[in-house]
A = this chain, B = another copy of it.
Amino acid sequence: MSRIEAPSPTGRITLSIDAMGSDRGPAVVVAGMARSAGKNPRIDFIVHGDEAVLTPLVERRRNLKDRVTIRHALGVVEMHEKPSQAMRRKDTSMRSAIDAVGAGEAQAIVSCGNTGALMAVSMVRLRKLEGINRPAIACLWPSRNRGGFNVMLDVGADIRADERDLLQYAMMGSSYARNGLGLEAPRVGLLNVGTEEHKGRSELHSAHTLISDNAEGGGFKFVGFVEGGDIPGDRCDVIVTDGFTGNIALKTGEGTAKLVGDFLKEAFQATPLSKIAALLALTSLKRLQKRIDPRRVNGGVFLGLRGTVVKSHGSADATGVSAAIKLAYELAASNFADRLAARVASIAPATEDAAQ
């Protein structure tokens, strides 16, 4: 494990960037790299993709001088490619990016590519952590909590999860909240259609018992069932659910926030008076925009693998890519993957007991 995740002795972090998966093309990815490099002098990059395309893009950026290794890979995993298909291809920038972490050359991967393919190839090339059945994708969600964010998982790695998977998500999610949000004892909630114990699907009732029994050992507090309204709320810090429900909740929340934001813009364009008002309120509105800007929290983290993989939105712009790079840097610098592995290893016997 330490081979994979230990930061290099000089204190620098090397990130492995898949340049080719983005909806907006490699130029946006390189622009995001340049933005991050400008802000953080301790990052280096190995960037994977078509050398002929990448070389001029990298050379144009002063911030990236002497900090980027280009690794040629001609194949691109397309957005609508099936994971099973992507797994068979050996020449892709995605696989090359993953292998650089597998070989210990870089400490974390960032890709804007096809989520299902990225998870499938990561599972084959990096492998799952011992004791993990289904890896999960965790995202950060703007919330009323003091830190400003909650963690939700799984938001789309797997459409199914049984009670043991949900317990593992609780463990991994609280580990992420502990390291990523600095919460000593994160509060975990299990997503359901009501907070009463008789509500919801039967596997959720089993998961309720299992998570409750393992909370103390896992170093988190279990608040029981929570509802959709608690995802941006302050009843808990970590929301646990299956990848089908989590993915739909994530996209519904993003879509709703965007709708309200667009309606707000229209409202300020409605009359001459409201246009003046918008000017006066500019600073406040910018602060609001920053609080709810999905680009700021861009980056789903794959949990449960032997290595750190950050999935950026396919449509992320340079700001979004840079946010995903920042997240990958912080996770690598804090040795998150090692800590998570240690936590999962420590609870695995308890889970097996519970399942017997």
Asked if A267 contacts B255 (CB within 8 A), the reply is no
Q: Return the CB mask of A264-282 against B: 1 if under 8 Å, else 0.
A: 1011101101101111110
Q: A259–B232 contact, CB under 8 A?
A: yes
Q: How far is the CA of A200 from the CA of B160 in the complex (A)?
A: 9
A354 vs B247: C-alpha distance in the bound complex, in angstroms? 30
Residue of B nearest to A244 (CB): B193
Q: What number of copies of this chain does the assembly contain?
A: 2
CA distance A250 to B248 in the complex (A): 11
Q: Is A229 an interface residue (CB 8 A)?
A: yes
Asked if A227 is an interface residue, CB under 8 A from chain B, the answer is yes
CB of A69 within 8 Å of the partner chain: no
Question: What 0/1 pattern do residues 122 to 160 of A give for CB contact below 8 A with B?
Answer: 000000000000000000001110000000000010011
**A35 to B: closest C-beta gap in Å:** 25
Classify chain A's interface size. 35 or more
* Cβ of A248 to closest chain B Cβ, rounded Å: 4
Q: Is the CB of A228 within 8 A of B250?
A: yes
Whether the pair A252, B255 counts as a contact (CB closer than 8 A) is no
Instruction: List residues of chain A with CB under 8 Å of any chain B CB.
Output: 80, 82, 142-144, 156, 159-160, 191, 193, 196, 198, 200-201, 227-233, 241, 243-245, 247-264, 266-268, 270-271, 273-274, 276-281, 283-285, 287-288, 291-292
